Amino acid sequence: MVYSKVDMPHQYISSGTDDSFYHSHRRSSSLLNPAQSAATRADLHRRSIAQMRINNRSVQDMYIFGDPLQIPIIIVERVTNAPRRTLSENSYFRNLELVNSHSLHGGPRAEASKMQSGGVRPKNGRELKAVIFVHGFQGHHLDLRLVRNQWLLIDPKMEFLMSEANEDKTSGDFREMGLRLAQEVISFLEKKMDRVSRSGFLRDIKLSFVGHSLGNIIIRTALAESIMEPYLRYLHTYVSISGPHLGYLYSSNSLFNSGMWLLKKFKGTRCIHQLMFTDDSNLQNTFMYKLCEQKTLENFRHIVLLSSPQDGYVPYHSARIELCHAASMDHSKKGRLFLQMLNNCLDQLRAPTSEHRLFMRCDVNFDTSAYGRNLNTIIGRAAHIEFLESDVFAKFIMWSFQELFC
């Protein structure tokens, strides 16, 4: 693991409507491809490991992580928060008042109602810690089992839900998938809260989410549902594994784009239209643009964005929620709207209160020497799936930052 600390870019603070800001930012944009730079940095680090000659009389534990040359290189960026742009009508503080106006009524929600109304919390009550795992496009509910297993080792009392609500149903509209997930999560929480209420007091709730690929868009859509509003105050940790948070407006993988076009043309896959901003002729009316306006991230205390420069299935900048060079050089309305989407997301990632929020970007660079030269590596599918088949990166991150998962 390679650690670094970066500041939230101040140039993103502007709304993007001021021409002088927009053009000056374009001039200051890096000409380097960020994905290539990240891959080069990881490759240099791997070479430096290879140059280390181990004394043959030394004893090494090769069981926990295996051969150092074959494990992922993880570049961890801990992002420090910059001031928010404005305290707008849709600011966190107004949303907090709105959420506080709702209380959980009756049955298993009675104890949680006391916490919401600002009443005295039971000192000896139980804390319900729940984690929701959401698979990606055409995925399986057990896809994220390796991450779940590591989380259970850290916190055996954690309650988990491997979401099945959208299994075999990931070709439809994100709004439908989000509603199904929201209903599944609420049903799961009510059962757990009911069980706790029978044995004592419910002191607090920590609700966390882990999503892979398209599953991250389903999570954010579910959090935007009105039925989830009473639970937003309990959001704890969010782990996004290669999630296309900014869609595919600027995707440079031509082979993958061709596959997406085929899915749209012949399969009529609604969610692909939405990811590619072709669900409406006006970009401002597209699903992804409107989703970025929703406050789906700002209530989490911890946010971890996992990306990989080797992953060709999800644009690198989209997984990291950052500006891409193509957008910074785009003079058209599309470039401006992309910048607005980016600003809307970054505003949510800035700490909204005095309570510190941890925000990290983690670049995972897998050892591709064993992959060989095939279609999976060419189109970037190998790295995208490696997130599900290798738990070494999860061990590194989760055990290095245990406070995020307890």
| Range name among 169-183, 262-276, 297-311 with the lowest pLDDT average | 262-276
Identify which of 85-99, 120-134, 356-370 has the greatest average pLDDT. Answer: 356-370
Q: Among 130, 121, 297, which Cα is nearest to 203's?
A: 121
Identify which of 91-105, 112-126, 135-149, 257-271 has the greatest average pLDDT. Answer: 135-149
CATH of 2-9+69-83+90-116+124-253+295-405, one of 3.30.379, 1.10.860, 3.40.50, 2.60.40: 3.40.50
Q: Among 158, 160, 161, which Cα is nearest to 126's?
A: 158
Reported as a pLDDT band with limits 50, 70 and 90, residue 17 is very low
Please report the pLDDT score of residue 16 as a whole number.
43
Which residue has 């680090």 as its token pair? Answer: 45
Reply yes or no on whether the pLDDT at 288 is more than 70. Answer: yes
Higher per-residue confidence, 135 vs 264: 135
| Range name among 15-29, 187-201, 280-294 with the lowest pLDDT average | 15-29
Please report the pLDDT score of residue 369 as a whole number.
74
Domain boundaries, the chain: 2-9+69-83+90-116+124-253+295-405
**Cβ partners under 8 Å of residue 219, min gap 6:** 132, 134, 181, 209, 211, 238, 296
| Range name among 63-72, 143-152, 318-327 with the lowest pLDDT average | 63-72
Please report the pLDDT score of residue 48 as a whole number.
81
**Cβ partners under 8 Å of residue 290, min gap 6:** none
Q: Write b or e for each residue in 192-230: b if 16 or more Cβ atoms lie within 10 A of its Cβ, otherwise e.
A: bbeebbeeeebbbbbbbbbbbbbbbbbbbbbbbbeebeb
Reply yes or no on whether the pLDDT at 100 is more than 50. Answer: no
Q: What is the pLDDT of residues 351-373, one digit of tens each?
A: 555 467 889 999 999 987 767 67
* Average confidence (pLDDT) over 383-403: 91
| Range name among 75-89, 180-194, 276-290, 389-403 with the lowest pLDDT average | 75-89
Question: For 173-313, where are the alpha helices, taking DSSP H only?
Answer: 174-199, 215-223, 254-262, 270-275, 287-293
* Average confidence (pLDDT) over 333-359: 84
Reply yes or no on whether the pLDDT at 89 is more than 60. Answer: no
pTM, 2 dp: 0.83
Please report the pLDDT score of residue 254 as a whole number.
63
* Average confidence (pLDDT) over 281-305: 95
Q: Among 300, 183, 147, 313, which Cα is nearest to 242's?
A: 313
Identify which of 12-21, 253-262, 332-341 has the greatest average pLDDT. Answer: 332-341
Reply yes or no on whether the pLDDT at 114 is more than 80. Answer: no
Reply yes or no on whether the pLDDT at 25 is more than 70. Answer: no
Q: What is the pLDDT of residues 168-227, one digit of tens each?
A: 999 999 999 999 999 999 999 999 999 988 888 888 999 999 999 999 999 999 999 999
